[in-house]
Amino acid sequence: MDVTIYEVAKRAGVSIATVSRALRGTGPVAARTREKVLKAVEELNFTPSRLGVSLAEGRHAANGVVFPDLAGPYYAEVLLGYEEVASELGRSVVILSTKGRTRVGDLIKDLAGRVDGMLIFGHTVPEPLVAELVRLGVRLVFVSRDPLPGADTLRSENTGSARALAAHLREHGYERYAFLGAPLTSRDDVDERWQGVRGVLGGAIEAVATGQYTVECGHEAATKLLKGAGRPRAIVCSDDEVALGALLAAEELGLDVPGDVAVTGWDDIMAARHARPALTTVRQPMRELGARAARALDELITGARDTPSHIVLTTELVVRSSCGQHPQEVPT
Amino acid sequence: MDVTIYEVAKRAGVSIATVSRALRGTGPVAARTREKVLKAVEELNFTPSRLGVSLAEGRHAANGVVFPDLAGPYYAEVLLGYEEVASELGRSVVILSTKGRTRVGDLIKDLAGRVDGMLIFGHTVPEPLVAELVRLGVRLVFVSRDPLPGADTLRSENTGSARALAAHLREHGYERYAFLGAPLTSRDDVDERWQGVRGVLGGAIEAVATGQYTVECGHEAATKLLKGAGRPRAIVCSDDEVALGALLAAEELGLDVPGDVAVTGWDDIMAARHARPALTTVRQPMRELGARAARALDELITGARDTPSHIVLTTELVVRSSCGQHPQEVPT
DNA sequence: TTGTAAGCGTTATCAA
DNA sequence: TTGATAACGCTTACAA
């Protein structure tokens, strides 16, 4: 953009203060004067400079978001929910991906200087830096992370659903289990799932790591697992993508799911319903996590709330056919 | 942030100009003075205000990106390539999703006021608005769109690969074809694929629309198609996701792929290689589209180039097993 | 080598 | 109801 408020003022024959008031509706402006101003604005195609406005208002009207990656539906879904609500609230969204990035600290600080607050996924940001951000007074909302002082946290319930899932599997009568996608990078949510499942299954379940939480890694790890000696009767996966990989591996090895091996996921991404067999999983409200994060941030920024909130959204066990036969099968 | 350059200057016992020079390395500063400044900066934990810098420099050091949605790997991949390079070049990325959004015009204009230039996917933005943006001098790079005057365009080759794909299918000896995912919303790239395929196959192929380019829509449309009277011997899909849906539909109907019906996709997303059977497709360099868009924008913004460029990246036919048996099958 | 001061484009206070 | 004018936080001639 190019034309400034001064040119509008000159053309309308008024002061810049009047132009500002006329445009924002703050303070009184004579009807006649407003006309003149609007006409000038129209003719010059004037749009207030975002930089000027922000500097004067002392706010960016923008939110940040920090994620490791955008592979798979999880981050994308949360991000969309976040962006949608942020947009409703008149705030832009500035993104920062950390995967494979060096000097993350600098990038985050730069981001902090561009926004009024930010959403950070799990443990994307190193702990000392988090502490520093909190100390600097940056408004933060963490998604999928354990509560910490000085910032909001927002997550889905894990332990309880994991226990319910494990209990359901046990009812199928299985004896040997594997948890595929062991919590590596201190992902709180995956860790909780593992703890919940193990709480019920005890020594009957062993943890197996995958490099990342992707279809490919799940595929690879499951292949090794299913080919190995003591093949598990059921594989509980950290998330749907890993589970999709496990499904693939089983099929390639000529194993029937759930006949030879049962498989479960987590998240209930779109593909879970369409997988063959349809995936038993735990539904997590991803979109809503993002939407809530945006609202929480807004409350923090506007000052509508000043004490951190820690919200846990409920999840839902979705039993489909990949975990075993059920008495009265209900089509999904 | 809170502390300003004035406080640093006072503490270091110098002027703000000297602080600025010392920090940016512009203009001469005595070693001794620099020391003092850096010390003060350190002690006060000073970071220059992005707003102040931008206002003075006359640039945002930020890029925008406009996409319809983030479902599926395509947009996410391009976005990641874009963000990565933008970040390397010291620019943030501000996102705007248009799907289901009202008043897109206002949103785009707001975005334009926050960035130095932006990437727009295909026909996400209404034509009159595009014209206005061009007129206003906004630096634009379009991805997956036909060339237009006044802006860069960046896309992958479609027609030639579509012809090659069609020719390959014809060699399999198939007679009836369907193109699943007909170009609805004037998506230039899908339209070129359709034109290319039809150019070779002529009357032997019919176009079938899907609501969107998703697994679900592909699944639904393919089910209808395969259940119908004159079932096609091969289904050419607009993209991999639709093809994945078609694969699902075939399996549910007990049809063998490629024995009963051949299926092909487009893009070569990760899942294409892992699908059963592995999907014959056309590889498109999504990440690179994003990366190049970021560089192109940078050239436009810095003034390194002032005439629009229209680049077409090459694609590659990837023959796997979903299109039919091949003499010497090569494992992928 | 350093400092003064004029932008950059707004908003908002305070007089008039 | 309007207009000067002081912020807002920086960069960068231009002078010293």
Per-residue pLDDT at B197:
98
**Is-contact A78 A290, C-beta < 8 A?**
yes
CB neighbours of residue B231 within 10 Å: 15
Dihedrals phi, psi of B90, to nearest 5 degrees: 80, 25
Per-residue pLDDT at B327:
75
State chain A's mean pLDDT as an integer.
Answer: 94
Q: The pTM is what?
A: 0.95
pLDDT in tens, A18-41: 999 999 999 899 999 999 999 999
**Is-contact A235 A264, C-beta < 8 A?**
yes
Average pLDDT of the segment spanning A278-291:
97
Per-residue pLDDT at B271:
87
CB-contacted nucleotides of strand D (7 Å): 1-5, 7-14
| Out of A3-12, A87-96, A252-261, B272-281, least confident range | B272-281
Distance CA A300, CA B192 (A): 49
Across the strands, what pairs with A282? Answer: A317
Q: Do B51 and A50 touch (CB under 8 A)?
A: no
Q: How far, rounded to the nearest angstrom, does the alpha carbon of residue A287 sit from its chain's CA centroid? A: 8
Specify the DSSP element, H or E, that contains B205.
strand B205-208
Task: Say if B87 is an interface residue toward chain A (CB within 8 Å).
Answer: yes
Q: N- to C-terminal Cα distance for chain A?
A: 53
Q: Do A270 and B215 touch (CB under 8 A)?
A: yes
> Residues 237-266, chain B: which have Cβ within 8 Å of A?
245, 248, 251-252
Per-residue pLDDT at A128:
95
Across the strands, what pairs with A164? Answer: none
Per-residue pLDDT at B285:
98
Average pLDDT of the segment spanning A239-261:
95
Q: Which two tokens stand for residue B287?
A: 């990440």
Average pLDDT of the segment spanning B33-60:
97
* B272/chain A closest Cα distance in angstroms: 11
Task: Please give the nucleotide, over all strands, whose C1' is closest to the CA of residue A30.
Answer: D1
pLDDT in tens, A165-222: 999 999 999 999 999 998 766 788 999 999 999 999 999 999 999 988 999 999 999 9
Task: Say if A305 is an interface residue toward chain B (CB within 8 Å).
Answer: no
Give B328's pLDDT tier (boundaries 50, 70, 90).
low
Q: Which residue is nearest to nucleotide C3 (CA to C1')?
A: B15
The DSSP string of B128-156 is: HHHHHHHHHT-EEEEESS---TTSEEEEE
**Is-contact A270 B295, C-beta < 8 A?**
no
For the CA of B7 and the C1' of D15, the distance in angstroms is 24
Per-residue pLDDT at B78:
98
Task: Please give the nucleotide, over all strands, whose C1' is closest to the CA of residue A2.
Answer: C9
Per-residue pLDDT at A189:
93
CB-contacted nucleotides of strand C (7 Å): 1-5, 7-14
Q: Which two tokens stand for residue B67?
A: 């996409």
Select from A47, A55, A95 the Cβ nearest to the Cβ of B95. Answer: A95
Distance CA A122, CA B44 (A): 30
Per-residue pLDDT at B183:
75
Across the strands, what pairs with B260? Answer: none
Distance CA B152, CA B301 (A): 12
Per-residue pLDDT at B255:
97
- Residues of chain A with pLDDT > 70, as a percent, come to 97
Select from A55, A60, A97 the Cβ nearest to the Cβ of B83. Answer: A97
Q: Is the pLDDT of residue B158 over 80?
A: yes
Give B190's pLDDT tier (boundaries 50, 70, 90).
very high
Strands (DSSP E) contained in chain A are 62-67, 92-97, 117-121, 139-143, 152-156, 177-180, 205-208, 234-237, 262-264, 281-283, 310-313, 316-318
Q: Is the pLDDT of residue B1 over 70?
A: no
* B178/chain A closest Cα distance in angstroms: 22
State chain B's mean pLDDT as an integer.
Answer: 94
Per-residue pLDDT at B182:
82
Average pLDDT of the segment spanning A85-92:
98
Domain ranges of chain B: 5-57, 62-156+287-313, 159-284+317-323
Task: Say if B95 is an interface residue toward chain A (CB within 8 Å).
Answer: yes
Q: Do B50 and A110 touch (CB under 8 A)?
A: yes
For the CA of B219 and the C1' of D13, the distance in angstroms is 65
Per-residue pLDDT at A1:
55
Q: Which two tokens stand for residue A197?
A: 């499942």
Q: Is the pLDDT of residue B331 over 70?
A: no
Query: Could you check whether B5-57 and B62-156+287-313 share the same CATH topology?
Result: no
pLDDT in tens, B271-326: 898 888 999 999 999 999 999 999 999 999 999 999 999 999 999 999 999 999 98
Q: Is the pLDDT of residue A11 over 70?
A: yes
Task: Please give the nucleotide, over all strands, whose C1' is closest to the CA of residue B20.
Answer: D11
Positive or negative torsion for Cα A293, A119, B213, B275: negative
Per-residue pLDDT at A329:
54
CATH code reported for the domain at A5-57: 1.10.260.40
| Out of A50-54, A298-302, A323-327, B165-169, least confident range | A323-327
Look at residue A270 and give its three-state secondary structure: helix
Give the right CATH number for A159-284+317-323 from 3.30.70.360, 3.40.50.300, 3.30.70.3420, 3.40.50.2300. Answer: 3.40.50.2300
Average pLDDT of the segment spanning A251-270:
95
Task: Say if B223 is an interface residue toward chain A (CB within 8 Å).
Answer: no
Which residues does chain A have within 8 Å of residue B67's beta carbon, measured at their own beta carbons?
none
Distance CA B169, CA B282 (A): 13
For the CA of A20 and the C1' of C13, the distance in angstroms is 14
User: Which residues, including other chains, have CB under 8 Å from residue A236's CB and lie 6 or more apart?
Assistant: A165, A166, A169, A177, A178, A179, A180, A197, A205, A264
For the CA of A45 and the C1' of C13, the distance in angstroms is 28
Per-residue pLDDT at B148:
93
Identify the architecture of domain B62-156+287-313 in CATH: 3-Layer(aba) Sandwich (3.40)
Please report how the helices A127-136 and A104-112 are oriented relative to each other, as an axis angle in degrees rounded to 10.
20
Specify the DSSP element, H or E, that contains B178.
strand B177-180
Distance CA B142, CA B121 (A): 6
For the CA of A46 and the C1' of D16, the distance in angstroms is 41
Q: Is the pLDDT of residue B56 over 60?
A: yes
| Out of A47-51, B189-193, B220-224, B274-278, least confident range | B274-278
Average pLDDT of the segment spanning B140-145:
96
